[in-house]
C-alpha cells in the first residue's frame, strides 16, 4: 500500500475511534443534563458518571491524535484547513476547553454545581456541530483560494443545505451512539430503572439519525455530484450500514443482547464512515488537495508509521487494562468498589 | 494590529497560560509517587494522605493543562499554517510521539484515580504512578524537542523552498535539545516542590502547626535543594550552549554588543536605545566570559556581528536577570532550611522561613514564565532560526483579533474557576480533618 493510503487509513481509523468515544461522552453529558431537567437525575446519573469518570481524558487524546497526525502525514492540509478554519476551529476549541475543564471541576471539585453541568451538557451538542464543519468544507465550494490566502465563505456555509444536513446528522448520531452504549452499560450494571430510560432514548434516537443521513445523501447530490456518484458505486457499504442499524434497533426493541446491539451500532457507523471516507478520495479537500500530492516526505512518513506501530504496542495493552478495570468489571460497573 | 501581531499575541497568551499548568502537570506526579511510596514503605499515614491530597488537586490542574494543551496543538495550524506546511514534515514525529506519551499518561491517571482501595497489595497501586510520571515527563521531552528544533534546526536540506532529505532522528536530537530538555524537566520538578511546600507552609502560617505539614515541607525542601542545584547547573550549561550555537540570544540577554574576550556580566541597568550604552548596571568583570566559555579569557560573540534586522528585542535582558535571580532564591531557601534543621539552635519552621517558602511557590512559576519568554522572544525574528521568519509564517486570516479576545475570555474564566475550585477543595477539608477521619492522631 502506498504511504499516502497507509496514512489516511490510520488517521481515518483514529477519527472513527474518536467518533465513537466522543459521541458516547458528548451524548452522556447531554443526557446527564437532560436527566436533571426532567427530574430523573438520580436514576441515570450514577451510571453515566461511573462510565465517564475514568475515561474522559482518553477521549480527548483521540482528537489530538487526529489533528497532529493529519498535519504530520499531510502538511498541506495545515495550510488550507488551518487558514480557513480559524473561526470554527477556535469556537470548537473553546467549547472543548470549557467542557473538559468543567467536567473535572464538577467531578473532582468541592461541590456539585448546576452551572458546571449545564456547561458540560450544552457543549456536548455544540462541539459535534462545530467539528462537522470540517467535513462540510472538505466537499468544496466553501473556500475561495487565491495565490496567497484561503478564505472561508461563511455565508455560503450558513445558507447551504448540505452543511445543515451534516450538522443534523452529527448531533443525532451523537445522541444515538451514546444512548445505545449507555443502555448496554446500564444493563451490565443491572440498573433496571436507568435501563428503561436509556432504552427509550436509544429507540427514539434512531429515527432522526436515519432521516438525517438520508438528508445528507440528497444534499450531497446537489452539492458535489462527483462524490455522490462515488458513494453510489460503494452502495453496498451503506447497505451494510443500514442492515447493522436495523439489527441494533431490533435487538434493543426485543430487550436482549444490548452488547451485540451496541456492536451493531458501531458497525453501522463504521460502514457509513469508511464508505464516506473511501468515496471522498482521491481528494482531501475538493478540488484543491489530492491525497497523493499532499503526502509528507517518504522518510518522515515511514518514521510516523513506525512510531505509530510502536505507540499502539504500548497503548493497546493499557487500553485493555483500562477497559477491564472499568467497563467490563462487573463490580465496578455496579458501583460496588470505591 | 495586523494578523501577525494578533497571532503572536494569541500564541503568547495561550502558551503563557498553558505553561503554568503543564509545569505543574510534569512536576507533581513525581512527588505523588515519592509520597505514596514513603507512605507504604514506612507505613506512615501522613505521607499516604499527602499523595491523596496532592492527587486531588493535581487532577484539577491536569484538566486545565489538557484542554489548553489541545488549544495550542490546534492553534499551531490555525495561526501558523505556513509554518506547519513548511516544517510539518519534520516536526510531526516528535509531535506525534508527544500525543502517545500523553495518551499513556491519561490512561493510567484514569486508572490511578479510581483504584485507591482496589488492590490488596498497596505497591500495585503505587506502581500505577510510574507510567504517569513517565508519560508526563516524556511529553515534556518530546514537545521540548520540537521547540529545540525551532531554535537549532537540522536534519534536512532546503531545496526550492521545500524541505528534503529529511532525517527525523537528527531533527529531534538537535544541538539545543539536551540542555533545553534537562532545564525544562528539572525546573518543572523544582516548581512542583516549591508549590507543594508552599501549601504546607501556608497552612502552618495559618496556625495549623502539625507533623503533616512539617513532613511535607521537609520532603519538598530536601528534594528542592537537589533540584535547585541541578536546575542552576543545567542553566549554566545552557548558557555555554547558547554562546556557541545561538550567540545572538545570549548577547541580547547580556547587552553584549562588541565581540570580546574577558566580557563583563551586566545585571540590571538601563539601555540607551540609540547608542547602546548601558547605565546604572552592576557590572561583574570577566563573568560573562566565564559563564559562556568557562574561561575568563574566553571570547564572547557580540550582537554587532549580526545584521540589525536579526536582533532579538533587547528587553530580554530583564527577563534573563529576573529568572536567574529567582533561581538563586530557590536555591537559598532550601539551603537555609537545611542549615536551620541541622543546627538545632533555631526553629526551622519560624515565620520568616515559612514566608520565604510560601513566596517560593509563585516565584518559581514566575521564573518558568520568564525563562520561556526569554527563550522564545530571544529567537526573534525567527520562527525556524535561519530558515523562516515569524512574519512569513502567520495566518492570512483577518479574524485573528476576535479569536484573541475569545481565548482571553476563556483563559480568564478557566483561571478564576480553577483557583476557586482548588481553594475550596482544600479549605473545606483540611488535612487535620481528613487524618481524624482516618483515625490518625497527629
Predicted confidence (pLDDT) per residue in B19-62, tens digit? 999 999 999 999 999 999 998 999 888 888 888 889 988 988 88
| Arithmetic mean of pLDDT, B95-103 | 85
| In a domain? residue B303 | yes
List B residues 406-425 in contact with A (Cβ-Cβ < 8 A): 406-407, 410, 413-414, 417-418, 421, 424-425
Q: How confident is the model at residue B440 (pLDDT cuts 50, 70, 90)?
A: low
pLDDT band at A338 (very low <50, low <70, confident <90, very high): very low
Q: Do B85 and A78 touch (CB under 8 A)?
A: yes
| Cell representation of residue B66 | 489538557
List the beta bridge partners of residue B265.
Answer: B284
The residue of chain B with its CA nearest to that of A85 is B78
pLDDT digits (tens, 9 = 90+) for A17-54: 888 888 888 888 888 888 777 777 777 777 777 766 66
CB contact A320 to B (< 8 Å): no
Q: Does B53 reside within a domain?
A: no
| Nearest chain A Cα distance for residue B93, angstroms | 6
Query: In this complex, do B104 and A53 lie within 8 Å of one another by their Cβ atoms?
Result: no
Nearest alpha carbon to residue B421 among B8, B18, B64:
B64
Residue at B237 is within a domain: yes
Within a domain: B256: yes
pLDDT, tens digit, 9 for 90 and up, residues A300-337: 888 888 888 887 787 778 778 877 777 667 677 766 65
Containing domain of residue B218, as a range? 200-387
Average pLDDT, integer, range B373-377: 90
Give how far A54 is from chain B: nearest CA, Å.
Answer: 4
How large is the C-alpha radius of gyration of chain A?
20
Name chain B contacts of A311, Cβ cutoff 8 Å. Answer: 96-97, 100, 103
Nearest CB to B88; choose among A53, A72, A85: A72
Closest chain A C-alpha to B435 CA, distance in angstroms = 18
State the pLDDT confidence band at B396, using cuts at 50, 70 and 90: confident
Give percent of chain A with pLDDT exceeding 70: 93
Per-chain mean pLDDT for chain B: 86
Are B364 and B7 within 8 A, CB to CB? no
Chosen from A17, A294, A297 to mutate, greatest number of chain B CBs within 10 A? A297
For B198, list phi and psi in degrees, rounded to 5.
-60, -45
pLDDT score, position B192? 94
Q: Name the maximum alpha-carbon separation found in chain B.
A: 73
Chain B residues with CB-CB distance to A297 below 8 A: 89, 163-164, 166
Checking if the pLDDT of A283 tops 90, the result is no
Question: Which residue(s) pair with B261 in the sheet?
Answer: B299
Whether residue B228 is predicted with pLDDT greater than 90 in this model: the reply is: yes
Which residue in the block uniquely carries the three cell numbers 530538555? B181
Flag whether pLDDT at B16 surpasses 90: yes
Predicted local distance difference test score (pLDDT) of residue B181:
93
Show which of residues 144-163 on chain B sit within 8 Å of chain A, judged by CB atoms: 163
Quote the cell numbers at residue A234: 460503494
Which helix (H) or strand (E) is A284 found in, with range? strand A283-285
Kindly report the nearest CA distance between residue B2 and chain A, in angstroms: 15
Report which of residues B296 and B149 the model is more confident about.
Answer: B149
Residue B37 neighbours by CB distance under 10 Å: 18
Is residue B440 situated within a structural domain?
Answer: no
Query: Which DSSP symbol is given to A257?
Result: -
Higher pLDDT, A164 or B1: A164
CA distances from B110 to A59, A60, B55, B396, B442 (A): 11, 13, 11, 40, 31
Cα atoms in the 13 Å half-sphere on the side-chain side of B1: 13
β-pairing verdict for A283-285 and A289-290: antiparallel
| The pairing of beta strand B282-284 with beta strand B299-300 | unpaired
ipTM over 0.90: no
Cell of B186: 528539572
Residue B437 exposed, middle or buried by CB count within 10 Å (0-12, 13-18, 19+): exposed
- Quick one: pLDDT at residue A185? 81
> B104: which residues sit within 8 A by CB, 6+ positions away?
A314, A315, A318, B131, B134, B135, B138
Q: Is B158 exposed, middle or buried (0-12, 13-18, 19+ CB in 10 A)?
A: middle
Interatomic CA distance for residues A309 and A294, integer angstroms: 22
CB nearest B81 (choices: A73, A82, A299): A82
When divided into structural domains, chain B yields a total of: 1
Amino acid at each position: 500500500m502506498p504511504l499516502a493510503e497507509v496514512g489516511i487509513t490510520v488517521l481515518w481509523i483514529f477519527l472513527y475511534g474518536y467518533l465513537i468515544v466522543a459521541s458516547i461522552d458528548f451524548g452522556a453529558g447531554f443526557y446527564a443534563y437532560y436527566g436533571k431537567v426532567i427530574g430523573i437525575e438520580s436514576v441515570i446519573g450514577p451510571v453515566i458518571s461511573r462510565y465517564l469518570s475514568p475515561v474522559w481524558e482518553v477521549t480527548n487524546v483521540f482528537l489530538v491524535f487526529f489533528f497532529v497526525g493529519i498535519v504530520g502525514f499531510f502538511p498541506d492540509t495545515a495550510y488550507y484547513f488551518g487558514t480557513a478554519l480559524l473561526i470554527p476551529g477556535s469556537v470548537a476549541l473553546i467549547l472543548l476547553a470549557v467542557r473538559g475543564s468543567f467536567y473535572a471541576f464538577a467531578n473532582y471539585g468541592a461541590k456539585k454545581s448546576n452551572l458546571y453541568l449545564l456547561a458540560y451538557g450544552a457543549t456536548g451538542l455544540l462541539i459535534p456541530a462545530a467539528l462537522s464543519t470540517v467535513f462540510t468544507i472538505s466537499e468544496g465550494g466553501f473556500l475561495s483560494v487565491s495565490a496567497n490566502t484561503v478564505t472561508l465563505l461563511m455565508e455560503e456555509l450558513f445558507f447551504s443545505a448540505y452543511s445543515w444536513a451534516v450538522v443534523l446528522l452529527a448531533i443525532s448520531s451523537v445522541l444515538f451512539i451514546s444512548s445505545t452504549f449507555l443502555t448496554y452499560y446500564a444493563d451490565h450494571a443491572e440498573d433496571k430503572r436507568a435501563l428503561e430510560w436509556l432504552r427509550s432514548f436509544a429507540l427514539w434516537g434512531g429515527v432522526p439519525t436515519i432521516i438525517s443521513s438520508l438528508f445528507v445523501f440528497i444534499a450531497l447530490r446537489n452539492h458535489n455530484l462527483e462524490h455522490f456518484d462515488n458513494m453510489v458505486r460503494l452502495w453496498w457499504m451503506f447497505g451494510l450500514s443500514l442492515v447493522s442499524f436495523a439489527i441494533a434497533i431490533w435487538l434493543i426493541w426485543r430487550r436482549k443482547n444490548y452488547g451485540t446491539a451496541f456492536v451493531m451500532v458501531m458497525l453501522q457507523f463504521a460502514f457509513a464512515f469508511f464508505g464516506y471516507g473511501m468515496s471522498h478520495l482521491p481528494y482531501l479537500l475538493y478540488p484543491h488537495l489530492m491525497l497523493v500530492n499532499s503526502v509528507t516526505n517518504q522518510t518522515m512518513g515511514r518514521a510516523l508509521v513506525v512510531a505509530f506501530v510502536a505507540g499502539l504496542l504500548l497503548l493497546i495493552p493499557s487500553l485493555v487494562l483500562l477497559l477491564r478495570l472499568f467497563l467490563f468489571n462487573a463490580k465496578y460497573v455496579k458501583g460496588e468498589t470505591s | 494590529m495586523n494578523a501577525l501581531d494578533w497571532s503572536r499575541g494569541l500564541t503568547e497568551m495561550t502558551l503563557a497560560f498553558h505553561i503554568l499548568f503543564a509545569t505543574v502537570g510534569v512536576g507533581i506526579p513525581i512527588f505523588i509517587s515519592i509520597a505514596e511510596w514513603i507512605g507504604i514503605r514506612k507505613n506512615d499515614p501522613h505521607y499516604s494522605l499527602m499523595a491523596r491530597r496532592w492527587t486531588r488537586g493535581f487532577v484539577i490542574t491536569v484538566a486545565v493543562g489538557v484542554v489548553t494543551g489541545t488549544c495550542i496543538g490546534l492553534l499551531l495550524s490555525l495561526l501558523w499554517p505556513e509554518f506547519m506546511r513548511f516544517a510539518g514534515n519534520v516536526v510531526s514525529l516528535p509531535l506525534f510521539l508527544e500525543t502517545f506519551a500523553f495518551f499513556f499518561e491519561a490512561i493510567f491517571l484514569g486508572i490511578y484515580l479510581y483504584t485507591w482501595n482496589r488492590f490488596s497489595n498497596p505497591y500495585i497501586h503505587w506502581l500505577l504512578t510510574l507510567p504517569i510520571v513517565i508519560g508526563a515527563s516524556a511529553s515534556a521531552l518530546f514537545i521540548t524537542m520540537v521547540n529545540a528544533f525551532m531554535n537549532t534546526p537540522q536534519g534536512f536540506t532546503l531545496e526550492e523552498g521545500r524541505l528534503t532529505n529529511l532525517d527525523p532522528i537528527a531533527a529531534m536530537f538537535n544541538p539545543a535539545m539536551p540542555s533545553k530538555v534537562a532545564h525544562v524537566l528539572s525546573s518543572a520538578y523544582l516548581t512542583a516542590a516549591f508549590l507543594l511546600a508552599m501549601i504546607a507552609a501556608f497552612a502552618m502560617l495559618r496556625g495549623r502547626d502539625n507533623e503533616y505539614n512539617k513532613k511535607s515541607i521537609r520532603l519538598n525542601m530536601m528534594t528542592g535543594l537537589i533540584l535547585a542545584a541541578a536546575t542552576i547547573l543545567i542553566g549554566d550549561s545552557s548558557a555555554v550552549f547558547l554562546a556557541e550555537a545561538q550567540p545572538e540570544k545570549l548577547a541580547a540577554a547580556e547587552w553584549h554588543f562588541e565581540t570580546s574576550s574577558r566580557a563583563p556580566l551586566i545585571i540590571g541597568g538601563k539601555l540607551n536605545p540609540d547608542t547602546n550604552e548601558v547605565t546604572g548596571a552592576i557590572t561583574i568583570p570577566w563573568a560573562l566570559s566565564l559563564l559562556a566559555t568557562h574561561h575568563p579569557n574566553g571570547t564572547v560573540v557580540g550582537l554587532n556581528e549580526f545584521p540589525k534586522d536579526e536582533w532579538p528585542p533587547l528587553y530580554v535582558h530583564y527577563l534573563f536577570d529576573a529568572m536567574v535571580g529567582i533561581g538563586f532564591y530557590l536555591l537559598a531557601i532550601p539551603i537555609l532550611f537545611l542549615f536551620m534543621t541541622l543546627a538545632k539552635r533555631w526553629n526551622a519552621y519560624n515565620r520568616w522561613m515559612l514566608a520565604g517558602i510560601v513566596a517560593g511557590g509563585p516565584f518559581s512559576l514566575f521564573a518558568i514564565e520568564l525563562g520561556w519568554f526569554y527563550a522564545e522572544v530571544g529567537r526573534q525574528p525567527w520562527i525556524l532560526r535561519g530558515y523562516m521568519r515569524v512574519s512569513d509564517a502567520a495566518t492570512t486570516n483577518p479574524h485573528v483579533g476576535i479569536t484573541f479576545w475569545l481565548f482571553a475570555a476563556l483563559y480568564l474564566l478557566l483561571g478564576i474557576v480553577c483557583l476557586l475550585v482548588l481553594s475550596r477543595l482544600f479549605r473545606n477539608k483540611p488535612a487535620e480533618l481528613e487524618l481524624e477521619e482516618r483515625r490518625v492522631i497527629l
